[in-house]
């Protein structure tokens, strides 16, 4: 039984590719108006989950739904926009022609094409053949299609891949604008700072299994971080953190300790000196989502 109250959901979804288990019992729901970020290393299962939701592949077990309709049933993708990581486009069409065909297939308003192209920075390229587009321009073109069709649910796989700084800012603004109109987003991304800025919740997936879901701030054990380079590597870094959450990179001899205040961070520095490990370099900074989820907190 699919959860009819969720805009997007997977229930006990598993998928194998040969001997590789891409998803292992994924159960997750995204609510209307929510911006959800899906995070994990390469091969964790992010794209597989998105492709199942988009109806491009079938799970071996379990079921997924879009806007309350089981994936694969008639009408399940009617109000859904999907942006894959790898974008392929026909070679002999001009951008305006391609957008026009796609908009007609979606029964959307063709008058939205021109403002959408301008919104993503391609207004002057509507007459160009897409065969000559760079990867970044193809991504902008795909985003123009989403902006013109204005779906209720956006499925985005690495939406800022191949984009420059202005392009990444444009994507962030598109998300916030559409969310203001009530749209729901599911975003797979490895650019954690961007996810942190726009997402209400994030999910961490590893080895095909969902490990945790939380608001970005809830993943941080403390708001600040003292980032330390040590002269030598201790056999056991845990006593140096004195019970505080920390990260340790043995190869770089780098210790990062989560602290509540700068004064607490300065106390960590003094303690390291007293223990015979005076830091070679010290940086006090706000903790980020990347600090919380890369590797494992000790």
* Domain co-membership, 158 together with 267: no
Structure tokens at 239: 């006593």
Share of the chain above pLDDT 90, in %: 78
Average pLDDT, the chain: 91
29 inside domain: yes
Boundary-marking domain end, from 191, 216, 241: 216
Spatial separation of the C-alpha atoms in residues 17 and 11, rounded to whole Å? 19
* Domain co-membership, 159 together with 247: no
* Domain co-membership, 24 together with 75: yes
- Give 45-61 pLDDT, tens digit per residue: 999 999 999 999 999 99
* Domain co-membership, 74 together with 144: yes
Share of the chain above pLDDT 70, in %: 96
- Give 202-239 pLDDT, tens digit per residue: 999 989 999 999 998 888 889 899 999 999 999 999 99
Are the CB atoms for 244 and 257 separated by under 8 Å? yes
Domain range spanning residue 281? 220-293
Spatial separation of the C-alpha atoms in residues 257 and 227, rounded to whole Å? 7
Mean pLDDT confidence for 261-287 = 94
* Domain co-membership, 175 together with 237: no
- Please state the domain count of the chain: 2
Say which CATH number the domain at 22 has.
Answer: 3.40.50.300
2 inside domain: no
Structure tokens at 202: 């994030």
298 inside domain: no
- Which of 296 and 145 is assigned the larger pLDDT? 145
On the 0-12 / 13-18 / 19+ scale of CB atoms within 10 A, 17 is exposed
Boundary-marking domain end, from 189, 216, 243: 216
Rounded to 10°, the helix 165-180/135-149 angle is 10
199 inside domain: yes
Predicted confidence band at 1 (pLDDT cuts at 50, 70, 90)?
very low
Q: What is the pLDDT of residue 4?
A: 43
Please state whether 265 falls in left (phi above 0), alpha (psi between -120 and 50) or beta: alpha
Spatial separation of the C-alpha atoms in residues 148 and 155, rounded to whole Å? 15
3 inside domain: no
Q: What is the pLDDT of residue 3?
A: 45
Boundary-marking domain end, from 181, 216, 251: 216
Instruction: Give the angle 151-50-194 at the CA atoms, nearest 5°.
Output: 75
Mean pLDDT confidence for 140-144 = 97
Q: What is the pLDDT of residue 170?
A: 96
* Domain co-membership, 224 together with 169: no
* Domain co-membership, 30 together with 47: yes
206 inside domain: yes
Q: Residue 296 above 50 pLDDT?
A: no
Helix (H) or strand (E) holding 95: helix 95-105
Are the CB atoms for 137 and 126 separated by under 8 Å? no
* Domain co-membership, 123 together with 238: no
- Give 59-95 pLDDT, tens digit per residue: 999 999 998 899 989 888 889 999 999 999 988 899 9
Q: Residue 41 above 90 pLDDT?
A: no
Q: Which residues of 88-111 are buried (b: 16+ CB within 10 A; e: fewer)?
A: eeeeeeebbebbbebbeebebeee
Ordered DSSP codes for 32-56:
TT-EEEEE--TTSSHHHHHHHHTTS
- Give 183-212 pLDDT, tens digit per residue: 999 999 877 777 888 999 999 998 999 999
* Domain co-membership, 171 together with 269: no
Closest CA relative to residue 38, chosen from 182, 152, 224, 191: 191
On the 0-12 / 13-18 / 19+ scale of CB atoms within 10 A, 215 is exposed
Are the CB atoms for 76 and 70 separated by under 8 Å? yes
* Domain co-membership, 284 together with 190: no
* Domain co-membership, 153 together with 250: no
Instruction: Give the angle 170-173-176 at the CA atoms, nearest 5°.
Output: 155
Say which CATH number the domain at 245 has.
Answer: 3.30.70.100
* Domain co-membership, 156 together with 201: yes
88 inside domain: yes
Predicted confidence band at 294 (pLDDT cuts at 50, 70, 90)?
low
228 inside domain: yes
Spatial separation of the C-alpha atoms in residues 135 and 133, rounded to whole Å? 7
């Amino acid at each position: 039984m699919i959860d009819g109250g969720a805009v997007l959901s997977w229930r006990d979804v598993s998928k194998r590719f040969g001997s590789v288990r891409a998803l292992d019992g994924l159960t997750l729901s995204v609510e209307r108006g929510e911006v959800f970020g899906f995070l994990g290393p390469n091969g964790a299962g992010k794209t597989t989950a998105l492709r199942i939701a988009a109806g491009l592949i079938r799970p071996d077990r379990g079921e997924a739904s879009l806007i309350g309709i089981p994936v694969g049933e008639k009408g399940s993708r009617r109000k859904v926009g999907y942006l894959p990581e790898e974008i392929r486009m026909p070679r002999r069409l001009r951008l305006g022609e391609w957008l026009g065909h796609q908009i007609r297939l979606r029964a959307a308003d063709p008058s939205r094409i021109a403002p959408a192209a301008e919104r993503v920075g391609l207004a002057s390229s509507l007459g160009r053949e897409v065969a000559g587009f760079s990867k970044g321009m193809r991504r902008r073109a795909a985003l123009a299609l989403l902006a013109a069709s204005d779906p209720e649910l956006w499925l985005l796989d690495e939406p800022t891949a191949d984009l420059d700084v202005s392009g990444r800012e444009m994507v962030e603004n598109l998300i916030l604008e559409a969310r203001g109109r009530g749209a729901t987003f599911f975003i797979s991304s490895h650019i954690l700072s961007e996810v942190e800025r726009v997402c209400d919740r994030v999910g961490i997936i590893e080895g095909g299994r969902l490990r945790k879901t939380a608001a970005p701030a809830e993943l941080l054990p403390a708001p600040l971080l003292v980032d330390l380079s040590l002269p030598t590597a201790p056999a056991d870094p845990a006593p140096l953190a004195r019970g505080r959450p920390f990260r340790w990179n043995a190869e770089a001899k780098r210790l990062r300790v989560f602290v509540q205040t700068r004064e607490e961070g300065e106390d960590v520095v003094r303690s390291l000196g007293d223990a015979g490990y005076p830091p070679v370099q010290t940086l006090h900074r706000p903790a980020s989502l990347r600090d919380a989820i890369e590797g494992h907190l000790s």
